Chains A and B, each alone.
Chain A
Amino acid sequence: MSKTPLLDQLESGPWPSFVTDLKRMAAKKPQVKDLLAQLERSYQEKITHWKHGGIVGVLGYGSGIIGRYSDLAETFPGVEHFHTMRINQPSGWFYTTKALRGLCDIWDKHGSGLLNMHGATGDIIFLGTRTENLEPCFAELTANGWDLGGSGSTFRSPSCCLGPARCEWACYDTMEACYVLTQEMQFDMHRPSYPYKYKLKFSGCPNDCVAAVARADLSIIGVWKDDIRIDQAAVKAYAGGELKPRGGATPYAKLDIKADVTDLCPTHCMSYDGKKLAIDNRNCNHCMHCINLMPQALRPGTETGATLLLGSHAPILEGAQLSWVIQPFIVMESPYDEFKELNVRITEWWAEHGKNRERIGELILRLGMREFLEAAELPPAPQQVRIPRANPFFFWQQSDFDAEAKGRKYYTREGFDVE
């Protein structure tokens, strides 16, 4: 009789079965056999059998490894230790088979052979090894050009969409920016020195394929300032049905440009007279809908960069937050000095004022957006808010009165003009 009758029921059906995959590893790896047995127990009892945390790591690092121990170690000795290693992924998750096989060889030698491609933050996740294997595995990883990612209260492994590597909508080089910032922040990634986790995600356009606005403390989302590029002949081809909407990936054979595109434009900044598509670009809010529907006719403009948004995280503690616009436009070009300097101002303010396990978005809620913006040296801009406040309870500071006395607003477009 099978030892895993409940899990066996997850072997049928058309979607690939993790149980089937794990079973073939179990034939080679005793720890995977014990993992399946413990998982079966969880399926019977409807409860987890992993103990709480445990601090393990490699020498000199305070992150990159998540300690994990079974509470059934006597029954299932193979999973007594079952630590996770986070391996920092390359930009855009591109690989050669040679590189992937190299990783597999290392993990077969030092661990369970189970992994995720990839984890929620972006790293390659090696699941399941013993404490004594961590250092040898790490040595072999670094000898082959790989390093650990972040965990705990550190700068977490940034991730990015594939940007200019394969997308016509990339408004900056997400792949390079991600790589450069990852290299720049190695010390902070591997040595916990922040109040809590801090994530960066780089998306090339407002479609935000890496969910930067929801899953990164600092979200860098590509945008253009000038005009959407139009190929009027291609617009006609869409209208005539020669070109299919969204590249063909819909149930709809033909685009009705008025009903499907211009009528659904959220700012009503476009019109189509049956011959020519007109866009009032000064009133476009970069929603991507028209571009998504007609990729052969429309492309973002050429004066490009990114919008910086800050503060998103999952519900713990104050409830989930989406990132807020803090800088409507920044040019994102190598060596990214302006961005790096701002990133330092943000993390320094947070490190100084943040409580233990307080995300940057929560700190801003506690201390106020003005305090943050002044610390980050960012001027107020209408793009930062959806609507201005409705209450009359606003503060005035001496600097505001000083500016007023000089006949100026506190902030000007040039930046801070009052000492």
Chain B
Amino acid sequence: MSERKTDIGPPHYEQFLPPIIKENYGKWKYHEIPEPGVLKHVSETGAELYSVRAGAARLISTDFVREVCEVADKFCDGYLRFTSRNNIEFLLTDKGKIAGLKAELKKAGIPIGGTGHSVTSIIHTQGWVHCHTPAIDASGPVKAVMDDLFEYFGTHKLPAQVRIALACCINMCGAVHCSDIAMCGVHRTAPKIMHDRLRHLCEIPTTIASCPTGAIRPHPDKSLKSVSVNEPKCMYCGNCYTMCPALPCFDAEKGGIAILVGGKVSNAKSAPAFSRLAIPYIPNNPPRWPEVVAAIRNILIKYAEGANKWERLGEWINRIGWEKFFEVCDIPFTFQHIDDYKFQAYDTYRTSMHFKF
């Protein structure tokens, strides 16, 4: 075991940088996006780097990666990178090779786009492919939505960029809480307590402590060595299930998708903002979730029609007012829209006469 290597950390990035980046590191002067999916970065030295951005599924195979490598070898001297949203960027210096690269990607069914005022790839979680707490699948709804919004991936038609995200439960591993449009898997069933298993599998104090609303108590019957759940206080977060496998909250029929809108992370113009609830529940309808696809298209179209130049979705809503947003998008307003969760809630109630009828 003496030769066992540990704690070496990731490889140094420099070995993966193409020569043009090493030579112009920190010297970039400006960029252009001459066409959707193609970025041109110009250095103070005059050097020009082209990046061709392509969309991919997040769940991929080594076969796919090898295919992508072949393309990068043929056109990019073997240099490529990935973006924070699972897009692939092919890096090249010879402008003349862009047409060939694009043709090759097209042939392979790999779309080009995701730049500027587009709908770029949807960041998402694992869903039924790999997760133990999901309310919904992840890759499936994402594929269905991207198929429907495909025309917006390879174009710059929108008032600003639109970032869509999906989390398959409210743990939000996909951090959808700051996206223009977010799909969030929701459970709507309080955990079913498996008393026989709980006493063997779970630590009762940590299980009780895991509940954000204090809905879990020691079971009054001490001989059970279990817990009880005050169901009206449960908001189905599944956090207790994470601590205690004997508290499953899955329900094939009641689970579904909530849509939240208007978040952003960039500081451009307005401050970073959370996404806010637009639609509390849409049924979980595999394999193509048509109701979710239609709801997202509806919001996107209304935004594209109504927003001013450069307005992100949330900036548009803030300008017209949320009451107008619900009216324009024809989305019913429900009790679920009114926040009643802890300290954030009261900050969202209106205290002015500044609203519209």
- Is B51's CB within 8 Å of the partner chain A? yes
- Among B25-81, those with CB < 8 Å from A are 25-26, 28-36, 39-41, 49, 51, 55-66, 68-70, 72-73, 78-81
User: Please, what's the 1-or-0 string for A157-199, where 1 marks a CB less than 8 Å from any CB in chain B?
Assistant: 1010110111110100101000100110011001000000000
Interface string of B275-309 (1 = CB under 8 A from A): 00000000010111000000000000000000001
Per-residue interface assignment for chain B, residues 1 to 30, with 1 indicating a CB less than 8 Å from any chain A CB and 0 otherwise: 100111111111101110001000110111
Chain B residues within 8 Å of A183, by CB: 9
Interface string of B172-204 (1 = CB under 8 A from A): 111101100000000000000000000000000
Question: By the criterion of a CB under 8 Å from any partner CB, how many residues of chain A are at the interface?
Answer: 130
B345 closest partner in A (C-beta): A319
Given known A-B contacts A25-B63, A99-B16, A249-B156, A211 and B268 have beta carbons under 8 A apart: no
Contacts of A318 in B (CB 8 A): 212, 342-343
Main secondary structure of the interface of B (DSSP, over half): loop
- Given known pairs A7-B287, A252-B309, the reply for A22 and B61 (CB within 8 Å) is yes
Contact (Cβ within 8 A) A17 B143: yes
Neighbour of A115 across the interface among B5, B30, B61, B70, CB < 8 A: B61
Which chain B residues lie closer than 8 Å to A296 at the CB level?
Answer: 30, 32
A16 to B57, CA, bound (A): 6
Residues of A within 8 A of B239 (CB): 316-317
Stretch binding the partner chain, chosen from B95-103, B128-136, B224-232: B128-136
Q: How far is the CA of A104 from the CA of B67 in the complex (A)?
A: 11
Asked if B218 CB lies within 8 Å of chain A CBs, one says no
Residues of B near A315 (CB, < 8 A) are 170-172, 177, 237
**What is the chain A residue whose CB lies nearest that of B64?**
A21
CB pair A248 B33 closer than 8 Å = yes
Fill in one digit per residue for B112-143: 1 if any A CB lies within 8 Å of its CB, else 0.
00011110000101101111111001011001
Contacting residue for A93 out of B32, B82, B116, B268, CB 8 A: B82
On whether the beta carbons of A120 and B123 are closer than 8 Å, the reply is yes
Contact A88 to B9, CB < 8 A, known contacts A15-B143, A21-B57, A249-B115 = yes
Size class of B's contact patch?
35 or more
Contact B272 A322 (CB under 8 A): yes
- Chain A proximity of B208: nearest CB distance (Å): 12
Q: Does A342 sit at the interface, judged by CB under 8 A? A: no
**Residue in B10, B30, B134, B272 whose beta carbon sits within 8 Å of that of A88 in the complex:** B10
The answer to whether A288 and B57 touch (CB under 8 A), given A52-B245, A96-B16, A179-B12, is no
Judge whether B30 and A295 touch: CB under 8 Å.
yes
Complex Cα distance A161/B266, Å?
13
| Bound CA–CA A107/B63 (angstroms) | 11
**How many residue pairs between the two chains, A and B, have CB atoms under 8 Å in the bound complex?**
375
**CB closest chain-B residue, reference A98:** B78
Tell me whether A266 and B269 are in contact (CB under 8 A). Answer: yes
Does A326 belong to the interface (CB within 8 Å)? Answer: no
Q: Is the CB of A260 within 8 A of B265?
A: no
Chain A stretch 180-235: residues in CB contact (< 8 A) with chain B: 182-183, 186-187, 190, 206-215
Tell me, yes or no, whether A396 is within 8 Å of chain B by CB: no
Q: Is B336 an interface residue (CB 8 A)?
A: no
29 A-B residue pairings within 8 Å (CB atoms)? A13-B150, A16-B55, A18-B143, A21-B57, A21-B64, A43-B286, A46-B252, A51-B132, A52-B241, A68-B132, A94-B81, A113-B61, A115-B62, A117-B60, A117-B82, A147-B6, A165-B21, A179-B10, A183-B9, A187-B7, A211-B265, A247-B39, A250-B117, A251-B156, A260-B310, A293-B310, A295-B32, A314-B175, A322-B272
Additional A-B contact list (12), CB under 8 Å, known A16-B55, A46-B252 = A9-B287, A21-B61, A35-B129, A50-B132, A82-B130, A91-B10, A95-B79, A166-B51, A207-B268, A251-B159, A299-B30, A316-B172
- Interchain residue pairs A-B with the least CB separation, the first 4: A249-B116, A13-B147, A206-B267, A249-B33
